[in-house]
Structure 1
C-alpha cells in the first residue's frame, strides 16, 4: 500500500450546513446571481456515505454521496441528484493532513440545504476507482457516466432527475455525460473546458498548454485519496491505485497526434475525434438537456465556451467572467447553480429561460457596470477597428500600430526566435492556464496613448505576412494593455503554426466569422524559406476596457514559455520576418464597442 494512502476509513458523517430560511412573505426575485422566494433552504445538516458501484464491465467506481439530514439522520425523501465525475480524487487529504472536498470548490454543497443530493465519482483509473484510463475522456468514460447517471436515478432517495456539473477536466466529463443521452439526465453545467478537443489542446496546430504536463503521482494516480467506507484498511484503494499506472499518459497521447486526423500510436484510433465533444453535437441536442456553460476571459477555454454556445440548440446559457481558470471572483455561483438546477431538475418556473441567454463581465469596467447581458455573441453592436503594423521594430524597440497605413512603407522587421523565453517574475509553469509576460520578446507594435476609454469586445483578428529561414515556424501573438508607467498585461492571445495557415470550410454552423484552420495532414503547407506567406488568426475572445492614457500593444513571438515542445524545433532557431510594406500589409482588427481614439503617430 502506498505510504501516502490513508488507512483510516472515512465513516458516514453528519455535518451542519450554512442555513438560511426565507420569510414566507419574501418577494420573488430571480436573475443572474440573485434568487429569492423560489427555493427554501429547508435543511441545515447533511449525511455522507461512500461505496463502490460496479460498471457493466466489472470495473468498480468509488462514489461519495451527500444527502440532506435532520437530527443526525438522512431525510427519508426523494431529491434530485447533482454529481461530478472527477479524475482528481473525489475526496483526499492534502499535504497538511486536511480533507479536501471538490464539491465545495465547485460551489455545489449549498444545493444540499435546498433539497438536493450531491455526489462525487472518481473516474475509472483515478482516485479510489479501479481500472486504467484509456486515453483522455474517451467513450469508456462516457459510458461510465451513462451508467452512473442511471444508477443515481434508481436509488430510493432520488427523484430520477439528474444533473452533472464540473470545471476543467470535470467540465469535459460533464459534456461527455450528455453525449450518451442517458434517459434521466436533465441538465449539465460544464465550466472552463473544451468543445473541439483538437482546437483546444492543439490550437493553431501547436500543442502548447497544460494538457502536455507530466503525470502527477498524487492527483493523477490517487495517492492521498480517501477510501470508501467498506475499505476499512485502505487495501482496495491501494489495489485500485496499482492499476492506474497502466493508463494512457496524457502528454504522450497528444504528442503522438500532430494533426487532427492522425491515428493515435497508443490507442490505434483517430482519438481527436473520439474525445471531442463537438463530434457528438447531434446526440447532445437529441438529449434535450438544459445547459449552463460558464467560463472566463482570462482562460484558455474562453473560445471553446463561445463555440459551444453558438453550435447547440438546447435550452442554454453562456456565463463569462473576467477571471482565470475555474474562478468565479465575487459572483455567487452557488446561487446561479441553484437557479439553473431548480429550473431543470425541479421544474421551478423561475424565469431562467426568459432572460437574455448571455451574461458577461467586462474587465476594467466602471464600478456597478461590470456585468452585461446580450442575445448573441459576438456582439451585434461591435464594429471593426483596423490597425496597421508599421515602423522599425526589433526586440526592445517598438514599432507602430496605427489607424492609417503608410502608403510609402517598404519596411520589414525581423527577429531570431528565442526558444528559451522566461516569464517576468516567478511563475509555476506546470499548470499555467494564461500566458505570462516576457520582456523584449519577439517584435512589438504599439498605438499612441488612447484619448478615451476603448471597449474591445469580441475576437480580435491578426492578419500577418511573415517569412522564415526555415520551412515551418510557430507564431504566438499577444494583445497587451500598456499602462502609462509601462506595466503591461495580456488582454488576449493566439497562436498558429505556419504550415497550418491554410483556411478550410468550417464544419460548424456558426464559427463566428473567424478563419478555420482544420489541421489535417493534407492541409499542411510548408513555408518556402525567405518567401512571404499570409497567416490569419483569431485571438481568444474578450470583453475588456483599455483605459484612456493606456496604449494597445501587439507582440509577435516564435515561442511561449508554456510550450513544452519548443526544444524540439529547428536548430539553429529560425529568423522570422514580419512584412508590412505596400504589397504585404500586416494588420490587427479589433472589435470595438463605441469609439477607438488613438491618434496616428505624428498627428
Structure 2
C-alpha cells in the first residue's frame, strides 16, 4: 500500500511546460524543495534564478517583475523579445560582509567548473583537512550537556568560491541510545573567528534582531544547514547522486550498542565567497542550530539522549564535501 506521504510527492517527469524557477540559499522552508523541483522536472526549457535576499522583496522588485513578464510574454503571447537568450542559470554569491554578486550567468547549477572537494574531519585537532587522517579519533558530546555540539575549522589562504551542493558523510555512534537526530551547519567565519551572518530582508531594526536570535531563520542567513534522523539513513539509489544524497524514508533502522554507521546528510545549496584568511566552521549538534523557521514558531525538540560520537580517520574517515569553483 502506498503511504500517505508518498501520494504528496509530485511526479516531476510529467512537468514539461517552460519553467521560470526562483530560489535562494537562505529560505530554510523553501530552498531544498525549490532546487529539487528544478533539478527533477522534465521541462526542456527551464530557467533558474538564485537571488541573495528574502523571497518577498525579491519577487516584487520592479526589475524582477519585468524579467518574469518577459518570460510570460514570450511563451504565452509569442513575443519575440529575446527571452531565449537568457542564461539558463543566474546565481548569486554571498559575501556576508557586503559585496554580494548577483545574476552570475551559467549554463548549469552547479557551474561546469565546480569540483566536489572532500575536507576530512580530524577528531584530534578539530580541523578540516584535505587528506584522510591515518589515525582513528573521535569527537563526542553529551546530548544534555551545555556543550551539545562539536565543530571543525579550516582557514583559506587564497580566494575560495563555493557554489553548488555540499554534503556531509559521517561515521557516527550513539552511546546510551538507539537513535540520533543530527543537525549540521556550515558557517563562514572572518579571519578572527567571528561568525558572519546576513539579514535577508530590508528591515534590519531591533525587532528583527530579536526574533531571529534563536529562530526566524528565513530572515537571517547563518549558513548552509542539514539534518537527519540516523534510523532513516537508507538512501534511495535511483535518486541519489555523488553530490546529493536522497533518502528513501521507507524503513527505520535503529542502532545497536557500539554500532558505528555511516550516514550521508545533504545540506542546503550554497553560493559563498571566502577571502584570504577567512575560515569555515562545520558544526555537528544534537539540536537545531538555526531555531524555528518562522518568528514565534515552536522549536523542534529532537529525540536525543545519551552521547553522540563522531568517528574520524582510519576506517571511519568522516568528511565534509564542498563545491569548490575553479578559476
Give CA-to-partner distance per residue, 1:177-219, whole Å, 9 cap, x none.
Answer: xxxxxxxxxxxxxxxxxxxxxxxxxxxxxxxxxxxxxxxxxxx
**Relative to structure 1, is the Cα distance of residues 353 and 584 closer, same or farther in structure 2, using a 3 angstrom cutoff?**
same
Instruction: Please provide the CA RMSD for this pair.
Output: 2.8
Note if 1:355 corresponds to 2:82. Answer: no
Equivalent position of 1:95 in the other structure: none
Note if 1:273 corresponds to 2:3. Answer: no
- TM-score of the superposed pair, with normalisation by structure 1: 0.45
Equivalent position of 1:374 in the other structure: 106
Partners of 1:403 and 1:487 in 2: how far apart? 23
SS state at 1:380 partner? coil
SS state at 1:502 partner? coil
Partners of 1:310 and 1:446 in 2: how far apart? 31
Equivalent position of 1:592 in the other structure: 324
**Relative to structure 1, is the Cα distance of residues 526 and 332 closer, same or farther in structure 2, using a 3 angstrom cutoff?**
same
Note if 1:344 corresponds to 2:75. Answer: yes
Using the TM superposition, give the Cα deviation of residue 417 of structure 1 relative to its aligned residue in structure 2, in angstroms: 1.8
Give CA-to-partner distance per residue, 1:545-578, whole Å, 9 cap, x none.
Answer: 12221111100001113395754724xx221000
SS state at 2:15 partner? helix
Give CA-to-partner distance per residue, 1:31-66, whole Å, 9 cap, x none.
Answer: xxxxxxxxxxxxxxxxxxxxxxxxxxxxxxxxxxxx
Equivalent position of 1:476 in the other structure: 183
Equivalent position of 2:20 in the other structure: 292
Equivalent position of 1:332 in the other structure: 63
1:410 aligned to which of 136, 141, 158: 136
**Structure 2, unaligned runs of 5 or more:** 197-221
Note if 1:386 corresponds to 2:115. Answer: no
Matches for 1:566-581 after TM superposition, within 5 Å: 566-567=300-301, 569-570=303-304, 573-581=305-313
Q: Flag the structure with higher helix content.
A: 1
Partners of 1:450 and 1:410 in 2: how far apart? 25
Partners of 2:275 and 2:322 in 1: how far apart? 15
Q: Flag as ranges the 4+ runs of structure 1 deviating above 6 A.
A: none
**Relative to structure 1, is the Cα distance of residues 511 and 388 closer, same or farther in structure 2, using a 3 angstrom cutoff?**
closer
Equivalent position of 1:454 in the other structure: 160
Larger Rg: 1
Give CA-to-partner distance per residue, 1:155-179, whole Å, 9 cap, x none.
Answer: xxxxxxxxxxxxxxxxxxxxxxxxx
Is the Cα contact below 8 Å between 1:297 and 1:324 reproduced in 2? no
**Structure 1, unaligned runs of 5 or more:** 1-259, 263-269, 394-398, 422-439, 596-603
Equivalent position of 2:211 in the other structure: none
Partners of 2:116 and 2:23 in 1: how far apart? 24
2:128 aligned to which of 401, 422, 435: 401
Using the TM superposition, give the Cα deviation of residue 383 of structure 1 relative to its aligned residue in structure 2, in angstroms: 1.0
Partners of 1:516 and 1:417 in 2: how far apart? 27
**RCO higher in 1 or 2 (8 Å CA, sep ≥ 6)?**
2
Partners of 1:498 and 1:568 in 2: how far apart? 12
Partners of 1:261 and 1:322 in 2: how far apart? 39
**Relative to structure 1, is the Cα distance of residues 342 and 536 closer, same or farther in structure 2, using a 3 angstrom cutoff?**
same
Note if 1:488 corresponds to 2:195. Answer: yes
Partners of 2:75 and 2:269 in 1: how far apart? 29
Equivalent position of 1:547 in the other structure: 275
- Number of residue pairs matched by the alignment: 291
SS state at 1:339 partner? helix
